[in-house]
Amino acid sequence: MAKAVVRKPKKKSNPLKSAKIDVVDYKDSALLRKFISDRGKIRARRVTGVSVQEQRQIARAVKNAREMALLPYSSSAR
């Protein structure tokens, strides 16, 4: 009989931002770059491991930063 596979969800290493930042600012493009893929897409929450509220802040900040040409809408489209 097959062993029941109980997959323990790996706890994400602390949301990396809870290090210090409590407010995500669209001007901080260095920080926001950690939350976008190399194609410029916003990384999913299951990848980033941040809370819902934080993810929402990040998404809004990224979108504001894109409008001001601090981040690309899309990059290196092959």
22 vs 66: CA distance, rounded Å: 21
78 vs 57: CA distance, rounded Å: 29
Contacts of another protein in 1-40 (CB under 8 A): 20-21, 23, 25-31
CB nearer another protein, residue 15 or residue 64: 64
Rule CB under 8 A: say whether 41 interacts with another protein: no
Q: Where are the beta strands (DSSP E) in 1-78?
A: none
CB of 69 to another protein, least distance (A): 4
Rule CB under 8 A: say whether 68 interacts with another protein: yes
3 vs 64: CA distance, rounded Å: 49
Closest CA to 12 of 45, 52, 61, 38: 45
CB of 10 to another protein, least distance (A): 28
Query: Which residues are at the interface with another protein (CB under 8 A)?
Result: 20-21, 23, 25-31, 60-61, 64, 66-73, 75
